[in-house]
Structure 1
Amino acid sequence: MSDAKHSNPIEIEIAEPSSLNEQAAAALVIAGALVAVADRRVSPVERDEVIRFIRDRGLAPHLDDDRLFAMFDALAERLEEPDFANVVIDTLRPVSDMPLSSHLMELSQRVAAADQDVHPHEVQAIKLLRLLTLALPRAKPIPSGRGRTEPQLATEE
C-alpha cells in the first residue's frame, strides 16, 4: 500500500513544508493585526497578545518572537493601505483548508479585548474575519501519481 494514501494532503501540495507553517503563522498574525488596526490605534498590548496567543498554543514553534513581531508590524502597516481587504484575503487563502478558523476567531476576540476597550470597528473586523473564514474557497484536491485525488482534511464546520 502506498504511503501517499495515508499522508497529509497539505504536505503533498507544497514543495517545502515549512512554507505552509509560515503561511499559517501569517494567517494568525493577520487576524490579530486586522483587529488591532481597526480602531486606528495599534497598542503594544494588542501586538503582545497576538504573539502570546500563538506561543501559548504552540501554533508557530518554528518562528521566533522577533520574526512574529516583524510579521505583525509589516502586516499591520499593509492593513492601513486602501487594498487591506485583498491583503487579508491573500494571506488567508493559502491556509483556507486548514482547521484554523476557531484559532483565528479566538485570537481576534482576545486582541479586541487586550487594550480593555472594544471599539465598534474591532467588532466589525471580527465579523469580517468570520465571514472570510466561512467564504474562502477550500483548496482543491491534489492528484496523486495514480491519477486520482487524495482526500481532503475534514475542516468543514
Structure 2
Amino acid sequence: MSDVNTSTLIEITEPSRFNEQAAVALVISGALVAVADRRVSPVERDEVIRFIRERGLAPGIADDRLSSMFDELAERLEEPDFANVVIETLRPVADLPLSSHLIELSERVAAADEDVHPHEVQAIKLLRLLTLVLPRAKPVGASAAAKR
C-alpha cells in the first residue's frame, strides 16, 4: 500500500506532469457539462480551450492536444462509471487553486451553446460538491515530517 501512495505523491509533485494534470482537470469539468445534455457541441469544446488559453492555465499544452483530450474525456464520460472518472481526474489536483476555475469554466461551457439544460446545472452542482469534498493530496515534505 505504501508503494501506491509513494507513486501517487511522486506523480502529483512531478513538474512535467503538473500542467498536464491541471489541463485534464479543467477539460473534464468542461466535458462533464458538455455531455450532461447529451449533445456535445464543438462550441463547447472551443470554449474549454479558449478559457484555458485566456487564463494561461495549461502552458506548454497545444490546442490540438486539449481538443483531443476533450473528445476522449467526453466519450469516456458517457460510460456508466463517469463519476469515478471525474473523481480520479480531479483528485491529483485537489490542492491546486483550480476550484474557482473549474466552476467558472463549467458555467461558461453550459452557456456556450446558448441553452443551459437542467442536467448541465446538475453537473455544475456536482463539480462544486466534488471540489469541496475531494481528499487533499498530502505534500511530500509534510508526510515525511509526520513519519519522524
Please classify the TM superposition score into its range, dividing by the shorter chain length: 0.7 to 0.9
Alpha-carbon distance change, 119 to 139 in structure 1, aligned in 2, over 3 angstroms: same
2:11 and 2:17 in contact (8 A); partners too? no
The match for 1:139 is 137
Alpha-carbon distance change, 82 to 13 in structure 1, aligned in 2, over 3 angstroms: closer
The match for 1:34 is 32
The match for 1:152 is none
1:50 to 44, 48, 51: 48
Is 1:124–2:119 an aligned residue pair?
no
Alpha-carbon distance change, 83 to 64 in structure 1, aligned in 2, over 3 angstroms: same
Deviations 1:86-114 (A, max 9, x none): 00000000000111000000000000000
Matched letter for residue 56 of structure 2: G
SS at match of 2:141: coil
Deviations 1:72-130 (A, max 9, x none): 00000000000000000000000001110000000000000000000000000000000
Is 1:113–2:108 an aligned residue pair?
no
The match for 1:62 is 60
* Structure 2, gaps ≥5 residues long: 1-8
Q: Percent identity?
A: 81
2:19 and 2:59 in contact (8 A); partners too? no
Question: 1:69-88 counterparts in 2 under 5 A?
Answer: 69-88=67-86
TM-score (norm 1): 0.83
> Highest CA radius of gyration, 1 or 2?
1
The more displaced of 135-144 and 52-61 is: 135-144
The ranges of structure 1 where at least 4 consecutive aligned residues each deviate by more than 6 angstroms after the TM superposition are none
SS at match of 1:148: helix
Separation (CA, whole Å) in 1 of partners of 2:114 and 2:32:
17
* Structure 1, gaps ≥5 residues long: 1-10, 150-157
2:28 and 2:74 in contact (8 A); partners too? yes
> Higher helix share goes to which structure?
2
Matched letter for residue 116 of structure 1: E
1:13 and 1:142 in contact (8 A); partners too? no
1:16 positional shift: 3.1
2:15 to 1, 14, 17: 17
1:28 and 1:104 in contact (8 A); partners too? yes
Separation (CA, whole Å) in 1 of partners of 2:41 and 2:71:
11
The match for 2:94 is 96
